[in-house]
């Protein structure tokens, strides 16, 4: 054998490098990148949240927990957190729910054209969220938008303040646009799981009289339990990471009604220049991330 | 919009060409990176390009990189860039609190020495203009021109229906009602507030008309005692005036979801007979082939303390990054932009009111330009706009307040309570 | 009378057609609208364009779309290469690890996957800026890669756990070092995992927005998502040009997907493990 690293091979199968050093060479590049660009900034965010300082200001003042005291009294922070939760739970229902139904139909419901449908429904996943948001921005426009026309054509009245201008519905529209893009991803993920379910299980169930919806409920869902857990985890993490859709569709508006933690951090940091306070919001996001990461570990160990 | 595009590709091509020149110029090649607003309108790109070519004749070895950003993103992007490691050498800015903060935080260069040197911009304009970017007599920026804001109206529509220019805010509302009576589907005055600043400009002027300079100054610069900040009932009156205009049918149904460009398009396509738009809009409407319009100032508020002769006025210009490697060269470059000849050229291509008005009489502008120039010259006072005048957090609160008012989600009293709370916190942090 | 079976079939096809139409309509309209004139966009936004004019494509291209695409391609190829290389080696070590320390390193990386960029954006920006890497491709590539690593490590980790150990054992007895085993035994047999990880990361990096928005502030350096935003900011009322820009930026990618869709779908199958 020719070694790609020159001639390290020695007689008798002795290794030239200790296992530890070998491990280090293979592991350290990835680990150090994660440390430097994920964990160090996370620590700095925590320490930075104890100060008050501006984006352009040369000095910073220690304020202790001052930023956090301000945070719990800040109604926009609570709106942001609530919106993140709406997106997490709404996406679980819409993306995984609809994804599940579509996948089940593709798996056992229809045969002709299934690749065609699968390809089309997955397509938006490839498109950047920014592009998706810009297209939808025009569809949702109150003056010439397609959605208004469609709603009017079936005899309903579109919201007078505009789909994205009405604070009562705008976050649900953001959720809907995200579902438009991401449902295909969940569908294909779940489909992969469904195709791994052995045919015999359905046959056995059919003998017991379980067909159609009953088979789906009693056979299919339990069989893809692991994949559903992965799907829920990915959706939850995505729901807290959401930034692009909100930033492009509404910039957090109208009047902060669609603000999420990510965009609120950005607003405080880079538009208003309150870096210390932005860090405090970020720390809440970090705590949530650690919590989900821990859940993910628990689950992956079980699986 | 297509002329902008042509200019942009020309800029790119010429930038490249100048770059080659610069490289040929030898060892002392110096690059000036300059940021401008993307939607400044008119022929700004072309003007800068010509000025750059001229400048590099006398300053061999200089290369230029011009970069532009859309209005909405500009304020955020400039802060981020200046705080970062790769800021532009020179950048467009509005006169106001943002510009002053950059100076206080040491990110905008003190240009006083360069300005007073021979050929420096201090010799090109009045002290009044110079003060727009000055702190304690030190210049932290160079004003190039000022923008104002007017009502534009379709002369044909007004004539056909016997409408006339209003003299009070109440009459303005009445005008809207009359237009709705002619055809209820016509939006008399499209607002386009989805970027939040359209209404901010209106409330700036209404605050002034109701309260006057003296009634607002101490609140705007946060020098009033905490228990008095933004407590003057006039602020509520001003918001109420917005609500009255809205209920008179002035605005489109979903102003917070409509882009300001859509609103402009509604006016220039003659779907709407009236719009409150910047002085820069005249050139834009001309560019879109619509010229049959008249102008009037935002009218007086009956019983208000503000001087109806005062106009919306925002001086704009350039600031220089404190991190620039060649401050003197950059100062010479911006000074060259306000030379007598260049200022006149700028005025004619941009239909703008230049800071150096020496050769203004030679400018052969459109009738609208002349009207605007005369009106700005005759204004008895100037009102700077809230979103650049106020401290960042207070400014943001005012912008949000406008959205809440138009959506009817908060009353004038409630939004003023919000603004007051933010202002008190901002004052505390000062 | 129709059988119950056929009614069910029709209903199932109905659901698929409904969702597909919902998904397809905005995309088709995006392409159609690119050919409209600005006036048509207001007067007849949902009719077919009256003529196939390419004006709006020209306007969109003039903003520098070519640069955005080139920048995105450069950043995607470099980042994906870096991510795959370092994540593959790391995941291999971790999947064979017995020590507590390595176990903890894996846990740290898994937790790292849940960390949103927005949560660390302030210190991250200051770090990159202090290092003088704002507006540099290298800066963005390294930072973007760091955020692609956790997911890829998790993906590879699952794959390597199932990898038959006999081959490795034989190579080890043959005197191969861990690096040699990895590059000569594991990698050649990991084609599907590598392809799957590369596809995932290519999609993520190509579409990454927040880091690119902050770290590249020069228009000539922008990537497609940030460039699209610039396009939208400059042409707010010129919708045909915006749609043309979006079409130019997304349609080629969609075509690549349609050709390679089998692999995309397969890459997802690995996730459930």
Q: Does C211 lie at the interface with B, CB-CB under 8 angstroms?
A: no
CB contact under 8 A, B84 and C125: yes
Give φ, ψ of B321 to 5 degrees: -70, 135
Given a cut of 80, is residue C235 above it in pLDDT? no
Residue B201: how many CB atoms within 10 A of its CB?
22
Instruction: Please tell me which residue, B5 or C165, carries the higher pLDDT value.
Output: C165
| Residue B139 bridge partners (DSSP) | B134
CB contact under 8 A, C59 and B70: no
Closest among B11, B127, B117, B25 to B64, alpha carbons compared: B11
Looking at the fold, whether A120 and A227 belong to one and the same domain comes out as: yes
Residue A197, phi-psi category: left (phi > 0), alpha (psi -120 to 50), beta (remainder): beta
pLDDT tens for each residue of B118-139 = 888 999 888 888 999 999 989 9
- Give Cβ neighbours of residue B104 (< 8 Å, ≥ 6 apart): B135
Nearest chain C Cα to A249, which residue? C229
The helix/strand/coil state of B363 is: coil
Q: What is the pLDDT of residue A2?
A: 40
Q: What is the pLDDT of residue B159?
A: 94
DSSP class of B122:
G
pLDDT tens for each residue of B340-351 = 888 888 888 877
Looking at the fold, whether A92 and A213 belong to one and the same domain comes out as: yes
Looking at the fold, whether A88 and A226 belong to one and the same domain comes out as: yes
Interatomic CA distance for residues A270 and A262, integer angstroms: 12
Q: How confident is the model at residue C210 (pLDDT cuts 50, 70, 90)?
A: very high
Q: How far is CA C39 from CA B275, C27, C33, C35, C243, in A?
A: 20, 21, 11, 12, 14
Q: Which residues of chain A have pLDDT under 70?
A: 1-18, 300-303
- Give Cβ neighbours of residue C42 (< 8 Å, ≥ 6 apart): A144, B265, B269
- What CATH number did the domain enclosing A184 receive? 1.10.3720.10
CB contact under 8 A, C134 and B86: yes
Q: Does A186 lie at the interface with C, CB-CB under 8 angstroms?
A: no
Residue A206: how many CB atoms within 10 A of its CB?
13
Closest among C213, C253, C209, C219 to C65, alpha carbons compared: C219
Interatomic CA distance for residues B64 and B51, integer angstroms: 11
Domain boundaries, chain C: 64-272
| b/e code C137-159 from CB counts within 10 Å (16+ = b) | bebbbbbbbbbbbbbbbbbbbbb
Strands (E), chain A: 51-52, 61-62
Instruction: Assess whether the region B2-146+315-374 and the region B149-312+391-429 belong to the same CATH fold.
Output: yes
Residue A89 lies in a domain: yes
Give φ, ψ of B144 to 5 degrees: -105, -40
Q: Does B83 lie at the interface with A, CB-CB under 8 angstroms?
A: yes
CB contact under 8 A, C111 and A240: no
State the average pLDDT over residues B69-82: 83
Q: Does A58 lie at the interface with B, CB-CB under 8 angstroms?
A: yes
DSSP alpha helices (H): ranges in chain C? Answer: 4-34, 38-43, 55-60, 66-95, 100-114, 121-130, 137-161, 165-173, 178-181, 191-207, 210-215, 224-234, 239-269
Residue A27 lies in a domain: no
Q: What is the pLDDT of residue C169?
A: 84
Instruction: Please tell me which residue, A278 or C63, carries the higher pLDDT value.
Output: A278
Q: What is the pLDDT of residue B209?
A: 94
10 Å CB burial of residue C101 (0-12, 13-18, 19+) is exposed
Q: Does A204 lie at the interface with C, CB-CB under 8 angstroms?
A: no
- Give Cβ neighbours of residue A261 (< 8 Å, ≥ 6 apart): A80, A81, A84, A240, A281, A282, A284, A285, C116, C118, C119
Query: What percent of chain B has a predicted confidence (pLDDT) above 90?
Result: 51
Q: How far is CA B143 from CA B94, B132, B220, C52, in A?
A: 9, 7, 22, 46
Please, are residues B59 and B330 in contact by the beta-carbon 8 Å criterion?
A: no
Instruction: Please tell me which residue, B11 or B393, carries the higher pLDDT value.
Output: B393
Residue A122 lies in a domain: yes
Please report all neighbours of A, defined by 3+ CB atom pairs within 8 A: B, C
Q: What is the pLDDT of residue B286?
A: 85
Instruction: Please tell me which residue, A203 or B110, carries the higher pLDDT value.
Output: B110
Looking at the fold, whether A57 and A114 belong to one and the same domain comes out as: no
Interatomic CA distance for residues A134 and A140, integer angstroms: 10
Residue B291: how many CB atoms within 10 A of its CB?
13
- Following DSSP, what letter does each residue of C219-268 receive, concatenated? GGG--HHHHHHHHHHH-TT-HHHHHHHHHHHHHHHHHHHHHHHHHHHHHH
Residue C134: how many CB atoms within 10 A of its CB?
23
Min Cα separation A137/chain C (Å) = 10
pLDDT tens for each residue of A205-215 = 888 777 777 88
How high does pLDDT run on average in chain B?
86
pLDDT tens for each residue of B273-302 = 999 998 888 888 887 788 999 999 999 999
Q: What is the pLDDT of residue B111?
A: 93
pLDDT tens for each residue of B171-202 = 999 999 999 999 998 999 999 998 899 999 99
Closest among B37, B381, B351 to B205, alpha carbons compared: B381
Place of tokens 């009817």: B408
B 280-299 near A (Cβ less than 8 A): none
The yes/no answer on whether domain B2-146+315-374 falls in CATH 3.40.190.10 is yes
The dihedral formed by the CA atoms of C75, C91, C107 and A192, expressed in degrees to the nearest 10: 80
- Give Cβ neighbours of residue B354 (< 8 Å, ≥ 6 apart): B144, B145, B338, B343, B344, B346, B347, B360
Q: Angle C62-C67-C71 (CA atoms, 0-180°, nearest 5)?
A: 160
Hey, CA dihedral for C241, C246, C249, C253, is it positive or negative? Answer: negative
Looking at the fold, whether A186 and A219 belong to one and the same domain comes out as: yes
Looking at the fold, whether A285 and A232 belong to one and the same domain comes out as: no
From chain C, pick out residues whose CB is under 8 angstroms from the CB of A180. Answer: 22-23, 26
Q: What is the pLDDT of residue B40?
A: 56
Given a cut of 90, is residue C270 above it in pLDDT? no
Q: What is the pLDDT of residue A63?
A: 92
What's the complex ipTM?
A: 0.89
Looking at the fold, whether A176 and A228 belong to one and the same domain comes out as: yes
Nearest chain B Cα to A270, which residue? B76
Place of tokens 């650690």: A290
Given a cut of 90, is residue C2 above it in pLDDT? no
| Kind plus residue range of the DSSP H or E element containing B349 | helix B340-350
**Closest Cβ–Cβ partner in A164, A165, A271 for B76:** A271
Architecture of domain C64-272: Orthogonal Bundle (1.10)
Q: Does C234 lie at the interface with B, CB-CB under 8 angstroms?
A: yes
Please, are residues A217 and A239 in contact by the beta-carbon 8 Å criterion?
A: no
Closest among A177, A143, B381 to C41, alpha carbons compared: A143
Closest among C151, C156, C108, C16 to A230, alpha carbons compared: C151
Looking at the fold, whether A196 and A255 belong to one and the same domain comes out as: yes
Residue A236 lies in a domain: yes
Query: What percent of chain B has a predicted confidence (pLDDT) above 70?
Result: 92
Please, are residues B369 and B282 in contact by the beta-carbon 8 Å criterion?
A: yes
Q: What is the pLDDT of residue A1?
A: 37
Interatomic CA distance for residues B288 and A108, integer angstroms: 58
Please, are residues B345 and B47 in contact by the beta-carbon 8 Å criterion?
A: yes
Residue B264, phi-psi category: left (phi > 0), alpha (psi -120 to 50), beta (remainder): alpha
CB contact under 8 A, A127 and C207: yes
Looking at the fold, whether A249 and A180 belong to one and the same domain comes out as: yes
Looking at the fold, whether A284 and A237 belong to one and the same domain comes out as: no
Q: How far is CA C159 from the centre of its chain?
A: 21
Interatomic CA distance for residues A118 and C181, integer angstroms: 38
DSSP class of B168:
B
- Give Cβ neighbours of residue A251 (< 8 Å, ≥ 6 apart): A263
Domain boundaries, chain B: 2-146+315-374, 149-312+391-429
CB contact under 8 A, B69 and C233: yes
**Closest Cβ–Cβ partner in A135, A261, A286 for C246:** A135
Interatomic CA distance for residues A50 and C55, integer angstroms: 54
Interatomic CA distance for residues B230 and B144, integer angstroms: 33
Interatomic CA distance for residues B202 and B242, integer angstroms: 8
Q: How confident is the model at residue B93 (pLDDT cuts 50, 70, 90)?
A: very high
* Diameter of chain C measured on Cα atoms: 76
- The count of structural domains within chain A is 2
Checking A73-76 for CB contacts under 8 A at 24+ apart, the result is: A76/A256, A76/A259, A76/A264
Q: What is the pLDDT of residue A18?
A: 66
Interatomic CA distance for residues B406 and A142, integer angstroms: 15
State the average pLDDT over residues B346-368: 81
The yes/no answer on whether domain B149-312+391-429 falls in CATH 3.40.109.10 is no
A 2-61 near C (Cβ less than 8 A): 3-5, 8-17, 19, 22-23, 25-27, 29-31, 33-34, 36-42, 44-45, 48
From chain A, pick out residues whose CB is under 8 angstroms from the CB of B409. Answer: 167, 254-255
C 111-130 near B (Cβ less than 8 A): 125, 128-130
pLDDT tens for each residue of A205-247 = 888 777 777 887 888 888 888 889 889 999 999 999 999 999 9
Q: Does A254 lie at the interface with B, CB-CB under 8 angstroms?
A: yes
Residue B126: how many CB atoms within 10 A of its CB?
10
Given a cut of 90, is residue C49 above it in pLDDT? no
Looking at the fold, whether A182 and A92 belong to one and the same domain comes out as: yes
Q: How far is CA B119 from CA B130, B271, B284, in A?
A: 15, 49, 33
pLDDT tens for each residue of B395-420 = 999 999 999 999 999 999 999 999 99
Please, are residues B259 and B231 in contact by the beta-carbon 8 Å criterion?
A: no
Interatomic CA distance for residues B34 and A21, integer angstroms: 50
Closest among C76, C29, C43, C50 to C242, alpha carbons compared: C29
Interatomic CA distance for residues A56 and B234, integer angstroms: 34
What residue numbers bound the domain in which A114 lies? Answer: 75-130+164-259
Looking at the fold, whether A205 and A169 belong to one and the same domain comes out as: yes
Query: What percent of chain C has a predicted confidence (pLDDT) above 90?
Result: 30
Q: How many CA atoms lie within 13 A of B319 on its CB side?
A: 31
DSSP class of B288:
T
**Closest Cβ–Cβ partner in B83, B257, B392 for A161:** B257
Please, are residues B301 and B241 in contact by the beta-carbon 8 Å criterion?
A: yes
Given a cut of 80, is residue B72 above it in pLDDT? no
Mutation choice for A interface testing from B254, B263, B402, B410 by most A CBs within 10 A: B254
């Amino acid at each position: 054998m020719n070694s790609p690293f020159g001639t390290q091979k020695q007689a008798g199968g002795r290794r030239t490098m200790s296992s530890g050093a070998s491990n280090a060479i293979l592991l350290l590049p990835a680990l150090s990148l994660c440390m430097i660009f994920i964990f160090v900034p996370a620590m700095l965010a925590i320490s930075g949240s104890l100060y008050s300082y501006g984006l352009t200001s040369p000095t910073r003042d220690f304020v202790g927990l001052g930023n956090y005291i301000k945070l719990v009294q800040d109604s926009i922070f609570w709106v942001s957190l609530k919106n993140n939760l709406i997106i997490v739970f709404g996406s679980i229902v819409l993306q995984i729910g609809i994804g599940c139904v579509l996948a089940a139909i593709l798996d056992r419901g229809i045969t002709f054209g299934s690749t065609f449908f699968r390809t089309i429904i997955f397509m938006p996943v490839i498109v950047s969220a920014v592009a998706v948001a810009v297209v939808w921005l025009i569809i949702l426009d109150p003056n010439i938008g397609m959605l208004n026309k469609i709603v009017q054509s079936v005899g309903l009245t579109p919201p007078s303040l505009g789909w994205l201008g009405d604070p009562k519905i705008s976050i649900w529209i953001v959720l809907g646009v995200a579902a438009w893009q991401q449902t295909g991803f969940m569908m294909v993920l779940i489909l992969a799981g469904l195709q791994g379910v052995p045919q015999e299980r359905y046959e056995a169930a059919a003998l017991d009289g379980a067909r159609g919806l009953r088979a789906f409920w009693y056979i299919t869902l339990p069989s893809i339990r692991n994949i559903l857990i992965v799907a829920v985890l990915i959706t939850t993490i995505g729901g807290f990471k959401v930034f692009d859709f909100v930033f492009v569709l509404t910039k957090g508006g109208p009047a902060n009604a669609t603000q999420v933690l990510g965009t609120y951090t950005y607003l405080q940091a880079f538009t208003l220049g309150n870096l210390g306070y932005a860090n405090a919001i970020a720390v809440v996001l970090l705590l949530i991330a650690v919590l989900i990461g821990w859940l993910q570990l628990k689950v992956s160990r079980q699986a | 919009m297509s002329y902008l595009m042509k200019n942009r590709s020309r800029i790119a091509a010429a930038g490249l060409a100048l770059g080659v020149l610069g490289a040929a110029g030898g060892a002392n090649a110096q690059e000036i990176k300059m940021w401008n607003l993307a939607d400044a309108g008119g022929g700004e790109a072309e003007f800068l390009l010509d000025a750059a070519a001229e400048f590099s004749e006398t300053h061999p070895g200089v290369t230029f990189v011009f970069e532009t950003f859309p209005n909405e993103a500009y304020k955020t992007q400039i802060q981020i860039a200046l705080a970062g490691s790769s800021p532009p050498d020179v950048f467009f800015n509005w006169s106001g609190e943002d510009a002053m903060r950059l100076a206080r935080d040491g990110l905008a260069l003190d240009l006083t020495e360069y300005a007073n040197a021979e050929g420096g911009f201090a010799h090109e304009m009045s002290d009044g203009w110079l003060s727009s970017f000055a702190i304690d007599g030190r210049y932290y920026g160079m004003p190039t021109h000022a923008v104002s804001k007017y009502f534009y109206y379709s002369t044909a529509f007004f004539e056909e229906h016997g409408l006339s220019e209003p003299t009070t805010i109440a009459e303005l509302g009445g005008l809207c009602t009359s237009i709705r009576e002619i055809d209820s589907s016509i939006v008399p005055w499209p607002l386009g507030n989805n970027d939040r600043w359209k209404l901010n400009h209106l409330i700036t002027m209404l605050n002034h008309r109701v309260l006057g300079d003296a009634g607002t100054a101490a609140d705007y610069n946060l020098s009033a005692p905490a228990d008095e900040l933004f407590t003057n009932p006039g602020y509520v009156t001003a918001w109420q005036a917005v609500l009255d205009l809205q209920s008179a049918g002035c605005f489109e149904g979903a102003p917070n979801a409509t882009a300001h460009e859509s609103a402009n398009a509604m006016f220039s396509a003659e779907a709407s007979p009236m719009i409150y738009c910047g002085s820069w809009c005249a050139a834009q409407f001309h560019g879109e082939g619509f010229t049959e319009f008249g102008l009037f100032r935002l009218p007086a508020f009956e019983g208000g303390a503000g001087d109806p002769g005062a106009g919306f006025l925002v001086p704009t210009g350039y600031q220089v990054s404190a991190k620039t490697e060649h401050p003197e060269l950059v100062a010479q470059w911006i000074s060259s932009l306000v030379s007598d000849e260049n200022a006149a050229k700028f005025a004619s291509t941009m239909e703008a009111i230049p800071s150096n008005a020496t050769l203004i009489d030679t400018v052969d502008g459109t009738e609208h330009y002349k009207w605007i120039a005369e009106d700005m010259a005759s204004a008895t006072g100037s009102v700077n706009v809230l979103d650049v005048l106020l401290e960042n957090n207070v400014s943001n609160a005012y912008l949000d307040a406008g959205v809440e008012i138009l959506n009817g989600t908060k009353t004038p009293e409630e939004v003023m309570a919000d603004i007051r709370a933010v202002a008190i916190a901002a004052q505390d942090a000062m | 009378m129709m059988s119950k079976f056929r009614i069910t079939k029709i209903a199932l096809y109905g659901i698929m057609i409904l969702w597909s139409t919902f998904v397809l309509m905005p995309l088709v309209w995006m392409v159609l609208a690119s050919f409209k004139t600005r006036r048509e966009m207001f007067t007849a936004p949902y009719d077919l364009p009256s003529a196939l004019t390419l004006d709006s494509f020209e306007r969109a291209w003039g903003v520098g779309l070519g640069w955005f695409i080139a920048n995105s391609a450069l950043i995607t190829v470099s980042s994906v290469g870096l991510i795959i290389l370092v994540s593959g080696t790391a995941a291999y070590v971790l999947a064979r690890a017995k020590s507590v320390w390595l176990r903890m390193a894996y846990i740290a990386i898994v937790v790292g996957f849940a960390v949103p960029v927005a949560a660390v954006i302030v210190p991250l920006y200051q770090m990159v800026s202090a290092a003088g890497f704002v507006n540099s491709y290298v800066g963005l590539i390294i930072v973007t890669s760091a955020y692609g690593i956790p997911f890829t490590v998790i993906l590879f980790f699952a794959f390597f756990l199932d990898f038959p150990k006999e081959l490795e054992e034989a190579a080890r007895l043959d005197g191969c070092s861990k690096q040699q085993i990895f590059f000569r035994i594991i990698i050649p047999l990991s084609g599907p995992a590598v392809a799957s990880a590369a596809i995932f990361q290519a999609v993520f990096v190509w579409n990454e927005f927040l880091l690119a928005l902050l770290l590249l502030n020069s228009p000539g350096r922008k990537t497609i998502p940030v460039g699209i935003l610039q396009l939208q900011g400059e042409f707010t009322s010129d919708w045909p040009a915006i749609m043309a820009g979006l079409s130019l930026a997304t349609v080629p990618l969609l075509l690549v997907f349609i050709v390679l869709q089998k692999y995309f779908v397969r890459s997802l199958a690995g996730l459930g493990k």
